Amino acid sequence: MTDADLIAAARTAALKAYAPYSNFSVGCAVESVDGEVVTGANMENACYRLGLCAEVSALTLAQATFGLDKVARIAVAGGDASGTALAGTNAVTPCGGCRQSILEAAQLSGVDIDILCASGDGQTVKHYKISALIPHGFGPASLKDAG
Ligand code: THU
Protein backbone atom coordinates (compact mmCIF):
# COMPACT_ATOMS: atom_id res chain seq x y z
CA MET A 1 0.00 0.00 0.00
CA THR A 2 1.29 3.50 -0.78
CA ASP A 3 1.58 6.17 1.91
CA ALA A 4 -1.40 7.92 0.34
CA ASP A 5 -3.48 4.70 0.48
CA LEU A 6 -2.64 4.10 4.15
CA ILE A 7 -3.52 7.70 5.03
CA ALA A 8 -6.76 7.39 3.07
CA ALA A 9 -7.61 4.29 5.12
CA ALA A 10 -6.97 6.19 8.36
CA ARG A 11 -9.10 9.13 7.18
CA THR A 12 -11.96 6.81 6.24
CA ALA A 13 -11.70 5.02 9.60
CA ALA A 14 -12.04 8.36 11.41
CA LEU A 15 -15.52 8.74 9.93
CA LYS A 16 -16.54 5.78 12.14
CA ALA A 17 -15.26 7.37 15.37
CA TYR A 18 -17.55 7.83 18.34
CA ALA A 19 -16.39 11.23 19.56
CA PRO A 20 -19.45 13.21 20.70
CA TYR A 21 -17.54 14.97 23.53
CA SER A 22 -14.43 16.26 21.80
CA ASN A 23 -15.84 16.30 18.24
CA PHE A 24 -12.31 15.30 17.27
CA SER A 25 -12.41 12.15 15.19
CA VAL A 26 -9.25 10.14 14.81
CA GLY A 27 -8.63 7.20 12.51
CA CYS A 28 -5.70 4.84 12.45
CA ALA A 29 -4.57 2.29 9.86
CA VAL A 30 -2.05 -0.39 10.80
CA GLU A 31 -0.20 -2.28 8.08
CA SER A 32 1.55 -5.61 8.68
CA VAL A 33 4.90 -6.67 7.26
CA ASP A 34 2.85 -8.73 4.77
CA GLY A 35 0.75 -5.77 3.63
CA GLU A 36 -2.42 -6.60 5.55
CA VAL A 37 -4.26 -3.50 6.85
CA VAL A 38 -6.64 -3.06 9.78
CA THR A 39 -8.17 0.18 11.02
CA GLY A 40 -9.67 1.69 14.14
CA ALA A 41 -11.12 4.94 15.43
CA ASN A 42 -11.41 6.68 18.76
CA MET A 43 -14.34 5.78 21.00
CA GLU A 44 -15.24 8.21 23.77
CA ASN A 45 -17.31 7.71 26.90
CA ALA A 46 -19.56 9.89 29.07
CA CYS A 47 -16.99 9.18 31.77
CA TYR A 48 -14.44 11.09 29.72
CA ARG A 49 -11.27 9.44 30.99
CA LEU A 50 -12.44 6.03 29.76
CA GLY A 51 -12.21 6.98 26.09
CA LEU A 52 -10.12 4.85 23.73
CA CYS A 53 -7.71 6.29 21.18
CA ALA A 54 -7.81 5.29 17.53
CA GLU A 55 -4.31 3.79 17.66
CA VAL A 56 -5.14 1.42 20.52
CA SER A 57 -8.39 0.48 18.82
CA ALA A 58 -6.50 -0.36 15.60
CA LEU A 59 -3.64 -2.13 17.40
CA THR A 60 -6.15 -4.32 19.24
CA LEU A 61 -7.54 -5.47 15.90
CA ALA A 62 -4.00 -5.83 14.53
CA GLN A 63 -3.16 -8.20 17.39
CA ALA A 64 -6.30 -10.26 16.69
CA THR A 65 -5.71 -10.29 12.92
CA PHE A 66 -1.97 -10.73 12.32
CA GLY A 67 -0.20 -10.16 15.63
CA LEU A 68 1.43 -7.12 17.20
CA ASP A 69 4.82 -8.53 16.26
CA LYS A 70 3.93 -8.12 12.56
CA VAL A 71 3.18 -4.38 12.64
CA ALA A 72 5.28 -2.48 10.10
CA ARG A 73 3.62 0.87 9.44
CA ILE A 74 0.92 3.06 10.96
CA ALA A 75 -1.05 6.04 9.66
CA VAL A 76 -3.01 8.40 11.89
CA ALA A 77 -5.36 11.21 10.85
CA GLY A 78 -7.68 13.35 12.90
CA GLY A 79 -10.06 16.27 12.68
CA ASP A 80 -13.66 17.18 12.03
CA ALA A 81 -15.87 14.36 10.75
CA SER A 82 -19.10 16.34 10.56
CA GLY A 83 -18.97 16.53 6.76
CA THR A 84 -18.71 13.76 4.19
CA ALA A 85 -14.90 13.60 4.48
CA LEU A 86 -12.56 14.15 7.40
CA ALA A 87 -11.41 17.81 7.57
CA GLY A 88 -8.65 19.67 9.37
CA THR A 89 -5.22 21.03 8.56
CA ASN A 90 -3.01 20.01 11.49
CA ALA A 91 -1.06 16.74 11.38
CA VAL A 92 -2.05 14.50 14.30
CA THR A 93 0.73 12.75 16.19
CA PRO A 94 -0.04 9.86 18.57
CA CYS A 95 -0.55 10.80 22.21
CA GLY A 96 1.97 9.61 24.79
CA GLY A 97 -0.06 6.55 25.75
CA CYS A 98 -0.41 5.49 22.12
CA ARG A 99 3.33 5.92 21.57
CA GLN A 100 3.83 3.46 24.41
CA SER A 101 1.43 0.98 22.76
CA ILE A 102 3.23 1.33 19.42
CA LEU A 103 6.57 0.84 21.19
CA GLU A 104 5.28 -2.47 22.53
CA ALA A 105 4.68 -3.69 18.96
CA ALA A 106 8.03 -2.28 17.81
CA GLN A 107 10.02 -4.08 20.49
CA LEU A 108 8.21 -7.37 19.82
CA SER A 109 9.21 -7.31 16.16
CA GLY A 110 12.45 -5.37 16.32
CA VAL A 111 11.03 -3.08 13.61
CA ASP A 112 11.39 0.69 14.12
CA ILE A 113 7.77 1.27 13.08
CA ASP A 114 7.04 4.04 10.56
CA ILE A 115 4.27 6.43 11.57
CA LEU A 116 2.53 8.68 9.06
CA CYS A 117 0.86 11.56 10.91
CA ALA A 118 -1.74 13.25 8.74
CA SER A 119 -4.08 16.17 9.02
CA GLY A 120 -7.80 15.54 8.68
CA ASP A 121 -7.78 16.64 5.04
CA GLY A 122 -4.79 14.39 4.36
CA GLN A 123 -2.80 17.25 2.85
CA THR A 124 -0.24 17.68 5.64
CA VAL A 125 1.78 14.58 6.47
CA LYS A 126 4.69 14.16 8.84
CA HIS A 127 6.78 10.98 8.91
CA TYR A 128 8.31 9.68 12.12
CA LYS A 129 9.83 6.48 13.41
CA ILE A 130 8.54 5.30 16.78
CA SER A 131 12.11 5.64 18.14
CA ALA A 132 11.89 9.40 17.45
CA LEU A 133 8.46 9.77 19.08
CA ILE A 134 9.39 7.89 22.26
CA PRO A 135 13.14 7.86 22.72
CA HIS A 136 14.54 5.81 25.62
CA GLY A 137 11.10 4.22 26.09
CA PHE A 138 10.27 1.50 28.57
CA GLY A 139 9.08 -1.63 26.76
CA PRO A 140 9.14 -5.42 26.86
CA ALA A 141 12.92 -5.33 26.38
CA SER A 142 13.20 -3.35 29.63
CA LEU A 143 11.84 -6.32 31.60
CA LYS A 144 14.61 -8.74 30.73
CA ASP A 145 16.15 -8.45 34.19
CA ALA A 146 12.90 -9.31 35.98
CA GLY A 147 13.17 -12.18 38.47
N1 THU B 1 -7.09 10.76 20.28
C2 THU B 1 -6.76 9.63 19.61
O3 THU B 1 -7.62 8.83 19.22
N4 THU B 1 -5.45 9.39 19.36
C5 THU B 1 -4.43 10.23 19.74
O6 THU B 1 -3.28 9.88 19.57
C7 THU B 1 -4.74 11.54 20.28
C8 THU B 1 -6.12 11.72 20.78
C9 THU B 1 -8.51 10.99 20.60
C10 THU B 1 -8.83 10.85 22.06
C11 THU B 1 -10.09 11.70 22.17
O12 THU B 1 -11.22 10.88 21.83
C13 THU B 1 -9.92 12.76 21.10
O14 THU B 1 -8.87 12.31 20.25
C15 THU B 1 -9.55 14.12 21.65
O16 THU B 1 -8.45 14.05 22.49
pLDDT in tens, 82-107: 999 999 999 999 999 999 999 999 99
pLDDT at 53: 98
Residue 44 annotated among the catalytic residues of the structure: no
- Whose Cα sits closest to atom 2 in ligand 1? 53
Nearest alpha-carbon partner for 116 in 9, 15, 18:
9
pLDDT at 39: 98
Which atom of ligand 1 is least distant from the CA of 42? 3
Coil, strand or helix: which one is 13?
Answer: helix
Tell me how far the alpha carbon of residue 108 lies from the centroid of ligand 1, in angstroms. Answer: 24
Residue 21 to residue 32: CA distance in whole angstroms: 32
Once rounded to an integer, what is the mean pLDDT over residues 11-19? 98
Once rounded to an integer, what is the mean pLDDT over residues 30-38? 97
The full set of domain ranges for the chain reads 3-137
Once rounded to an integer, what is the mean pLDDT over residues 44-57? 98
Once rounded to an integer, what is the mean pLDDT over residues 3-26? 98
pLDDT at 117: 98
Handedness of CA 3, 55, 134, 64 (dihedral sign): negative
Once rounded to an integer, what is the mean pLDDT over residues 113-121? 98
pLDDT band at 110 (very low <50, low <70, confident <90, very high): very high
Tell whether domain 3-137 is in CATH 3.40.50.10170: no
Helix (H) or strand (E) holding 73: strand 71-79
Q: Tens of pLDDT along 118-134?
A: 999 999 999 999 999 99
pLDDT at 66: 98
Nearest alpha-carbon partner for 43 in 71, 14, 64, 68:
14
Nearest alpha-carbon partner for 82 in 20, 29, 9:
20
Coil, strand or helix: which one is 107?
Answer: helix
Residue 69 to residue 106: CA distance in whole angstroms: 7
Residues 75, 118: contact at Cβ < 8 Å?
Answer: yes
pLDDT at 21: 98
Pocket of ligand 1 (CB under 6 A): 19, 22, 24, 26, 42, 44, 51, 53-55, 94-95, 98
Q: What mean pLDDT, rounded, does the chain reach?
A: 97
Once rounded to an integer, what is the mean pLDDT over residues 13-41? 98
Nearest alpha-carbon partner for 62 in 42, 96, 33, 86:
33
